[in-house]
Structure 1
Amino acid sequence: MNTVKSTRIESIDILRGLVMIIMALDHVRDYTNTGYLFLDPTNMDTTTPGLFFTRWITHFCAPVFVFLAGTSAFLYGAKKTSKKALSKFLFTRGLWLVFTELTIVNFAWTFDINLSLHIFQVIWAIGACMMILSGLIYFPKKVLLILGLLILFGHNLLDGITMQGNDPLAILWYFIHQQNFVVFNGGQSMMFVAYPILPWLGIMVLGYCFGNFYKKDFNVAIRKKWLLILGFGSIALFIVLRYINVYGDLVPWSVQKDSTYTFLSFMNTAKYPPSLLYTLMTLGPSMLFLYTIENVKNAITHVLVVIGRVPFFYYIIHLYVIHFVGLIGLTILGEDWRELIMTPSRFMSGYLADKGFDLWVTYLVSIMVVVILYPFCNMFMKYKANNRDKWWLSYL
């Protein structure tokens, strides 16, 4: 097996690669499974355990992705000679990511050449948070840790503040803490703020602080001890707070028609915006995974490392591949493939809400997508490793 020499931390790349593969499952579901983009797989009235799990497991992707973006920022900064250099990189890369979200990524989601549906999702959130982090890094690490914890544990106090409409103050609030749609020009264009940035900023700041555990001279035994403490502590706190059912999530759990669905309700935490409980539920097990995988090397971890080292490249390419597969699938169903060119009118019509394939097709296609993309990711990883002098590669 050919390996590429790198100073990167493999366990972090393995975790990132794993969530990128899981992410493909969720996006394939969006473009193949019955209901397409319109069915909520966490709705207790309509979901099944298999469909719920398919969505639930992908909840790990965004928080891990954002958290590790903060960690990577810290480790990148450790190689720089000054905070100013790191700050410049974070701001410019963040600006690039926001631009990419509203152009290349939006087109991948919609295939609408007019870009009339403006979607602010995870790439926008990472970019915006990086731009803010570019200024925050000048604060002492203890201040950053306190800030991150305050946002994580306190932002759900803002859940009761909701706005409607498209006036500037309401739109500002959508970007800060409330997921919402805004329709403009009589339905000719639409803005969807899926990822309000305040809670994601808290996650990224904590990820930045977490990078201290992976400094070159940090004691491995102490790091592994803290991974256990953070992992089990987060899971325990999630269980306790969720059981109390008073604070930490937009939607309390409730007793359902049977014990299985009651358990699903218990695990159904809010992602938009990511609640305290959602974050504890996903980052806790991720800490334990980092503890377990630290010294593991085999063929599977090699695949995960490859994808984990080129996450942005993988993210962009996989969206286009999946959307093309969706067009083919819709044609196979005997429907007009243009229904998956997501203009505002098509999105609001909900025509595809009762169309699509069974869930096993989603799993099969997601495996095929990863298999197809892997060799391209491997080639790009090697290209990056062999061309470290090319500054623009750090933005990809």
Structure 2
Amino acid sequence: MGERPEPPEASTSLSLLSGRIASIDALRGLVMVLMLLDHLRETWFLHVPVADPVDARTALPAVALARLLVSLCAPIFIALTGVAAYLFGTRHTLAETRAYLLKRGLVLMALEVLYLSELYWGVASPTLWLQVIWCIGVCMIVLAVLVGLPRPILFTVGLLVVCGHNLLDPIHLQPDQPFFAVWAMLHQRDVIALPFGLVAKTTYPVLPWIGVIVLGYAIGPWFLPTVVAQTRERRFLALSCGMLVAFMVLRLANGYGDKPWFVVEGDALRTTLSFVSLTKYPPSLLFLLLTLGIGALLLVALERMRDAPVVSALAVFGGAPLFFYLLHLTILRLLYHGAVAIWGPTQGTVFGVASYGWVLAWYVGLVVPLYWPTAWFSRFKASRREIAWLRYL
């Protein structure tokens, strides 16, 4: 059955300049701003290790809670990448959509290897860090292969991957075994030996993330102009409730979907931290149920607040996410190396602040200054749509 068109005042807000969907950009912008907090921790507080998942018995509660908050970033962003790919396909042919996904994926993978690895770990490092940008690039290339399939098949594939990949956890290959490199890319966080003394660290094994981007693509039609805003909100509320209820049931059962949680005697806070400390590398079923369930709620909230100034501000960050990502990481590395040059190592072999409060202070101090160049680039990109290469940034 077709759905009646909604009146303009009830529809998802569109940017007059670019035609982008404001709630998607705002949610993407929110997770980018949250990501800044984690990258500041990795810049100024790296001397305090954070395991995966966080050890509830030893982790600083403030760091553990912040880590939980920023865990929303990758799942929401990759799911929205799938949604954006579907919407791109509504304005282009299948061949054009596949070509875009392939080219964008290759650009992201090249940026990770040729710029981000060197930026964070030094040009003399023999290690290629295959992190989230690499992962998104691989996911886009896989999606380019799959986009021609019917939506029910895509939805089924995405569900099977997300819900079933933890069954593969017992499979652990050694470097001398066949298909080790492939498996390390897909599901086993490991180190791959490369020629010329180089190594690659598969920080973000891609298999579960492929399931996430496919599911994002499968729900893309929910954002078509013919879908009434109230209908879209009901769908996302139902989706959120379903995922969060499934998370609670599976987590309380303590049998599938992640490592078991435990009770810390006499410490309700650390017991709670144990309950929500979930595996991200690769993301467990429970990690994805919790983070994407919260993400669906956030999307509903942002749609209902679409006229609020904060939503417009967040949409600026979400309108140029790759630019913001590269910009803030570059600035953080320049700040870090400047601090080392001035004060030298203050925490063992690295420069770091003594209190996590200083990390939060840096966060507050950087968000607004980073807004202005991102807003400029977002406007520039939207007003120069004839420049083909800009769509890949």
- 1:358 equivalent to 2:355? Answer yes
Question: Taking structure 1 as reference, are residues 184 and 131 closer, same or farther at Cα in structure 2, changes over 3 Å only?
Answer: closer
1:167 deviation in Å?
Answer: 5.5
**Alpha-carbon deviations, 1:263-315, whole Å to 9, x = none?**
10000010000011000110101111111211422221121010000000001
Partner Cα distance (2:186, 2:21) in 1? 32
Work out whether residues 34 and 356 of structure 1, in 8 Å CA contact, stay in contact via their aligned partners in 2: no
Work out whether residues 56 and 277 of structure 2, in 8 Å CA contact, stay in contact via their aligned partners in 1: no
Partner Cα distance (1:381, 1:355) in 2? 33
Quote the residue 1:138 is aligned against. 148
Query: Which amino acid in 2 is paired with 1:67?
Result: A
Question: Taking structure 1 as reference, are residues 265 and 148 closer, same or farther at Cα in structure 2, changes over 3 Å only?
Answer: same
| Percent of matched pairs sharing the same residue | 35
Q: Describe the SS at the equivalent of 1:191.
A: strand
- 1:93 equivalent to 2:101? Answer no
Question: Taking structure 1 as reference, are residues 166 and 96 closer, same or farther at Cα in structure 2, changes over 3 Å only?
Answer: farther
- State which of 164, 168, 192 in structure 2 corresponds to 1:158: 168
TM-score, normalised on structure 2? 0.90
Stretch moving more, 92-101 or 268-277: 92-101
Partner Cα distance (1:166, 1:395) in 2? 38
Structure 2: gaps (5+ residues) = 1-14
Partner Cα distance (2:292, 2:194) in 1? 37
Partner Cα distance (1:108, 1:217) in 2? 44
Query: Which amino acid in 1 is paired with 2:158?
Result: G
- State which of 48, 64, 67 in structure 2 corresponds to 1:52: 64
- Correspondence 1:41-80 to 2 at 5 A: 42-80=54-92
1:319 deviation in Å?
Answer: 0.7
Partner Cα distance (1:164, 1:314) in 2? 38
- State which of 368, 377, 381 in structure 2 corresponds to 1:380: 377
**Alpha-carbon deviations, 1:20-39, whole Å to 9, x = none?**
00000000100101516x44
- 1:394 equivalent to 2:391? Answer yes
- Correspondence 1:1-396 to 2 at 5 A: 5-33=17-45, 35=47, 38-40=49-51, 42-80=54-92, 82-110=93-121, 112-165=122-175, 169-182=179-192, 189-249=198-258, 251-257=259-265, 258-296=267-305, 297-331=307-341, 333-335=343-345, 351-352=349-350, 356-396=353-393
Work out whether residues 107 and 115 of structure 1, in 8 Å CA contact, stay in contact via their aligned partners in 2: yes
1:365 deviation in Å?
Answer: 1.2
Work out whether residues 32 and 329 of structure 1, in 8 Å CA contact, stay in contact via their aligned partners in 2: no
1:221 deviation in Å?
Answer: 2.1
Partner Cα distance (1:5, 1:329) in 2? 40
Query: Which amino acid in 1 is paired with 2:367?
Result: V
Partner Cα distance (2:182, 2:42) in 1? 28
Query: Which amino acid in 2 is paired with 1:286?
Result: G
Question: Taking structure 1 as reference, are residues 330 and 166 closer, same or farther at Cα in structure 2, changes over 3 Å only?
Answer: farther
1:183 deviation in Å?
Answer: 5.6
TM-score, normalised on structure 1? 0.90
1:329 deviation in Å?
Answer: 3.6
1:115 deviation in Å?
Answer: 4.9
Partner Cα distance (2:58, 2:140) in 1? 38
Work out whether residues 56 and 271 of structure 2, in 8 Å CA contact, stay in contact via their aligned partners in 1: no
The alignment covers a number of residue pairs equal to 376
1:385 deviation in Å?
Answer: 1.2
Query: Which amino acid in 2 is paired with 1:274?
Result: P
Stretch moving more, 240-249 or 219-228: 219-228
Quote the residue 2:8 is aligned against. none
Query: Which amino acid in 1 is paired with 2:19?
Result: T
Stretch moving more, 354-363 or 270-279: 354-363
Query: Which amino acid in 2 is paired with 1:91?
Result: L
Partner Cα distance (1:144, 1:247) in 2? 24
Partner Cα distance (2:242, 2:339) in 1? 44
Question: Taking structure 1 as reference, are residues 170 and 34 closer, same or farther at Cα in structure 2, changes over 3 Å only?
Answer: closer
Partner Cα distance (1:147, 1:351) in 2? 46
Quote the residue 1:344 is aligned against. none
RMSD value over aligned CA atoms? 2.1
**Alpha-carbon deviations, 1:156-204, whole Å to 9, x = none?**
0001111233666212111010111346689x64321011111000000
**Alpha-carbon deviations, 1:81-121, whole Å to 9, x = none?**
x21110111111111111111111212222x2245220011
Work out whether residues 246 and 252 of structure 1, in 8 Å CA contact, stay in contact via their aligned partners in 2: yes
Query: Which amino acid in 1 is paired with 2:383?
Result: N
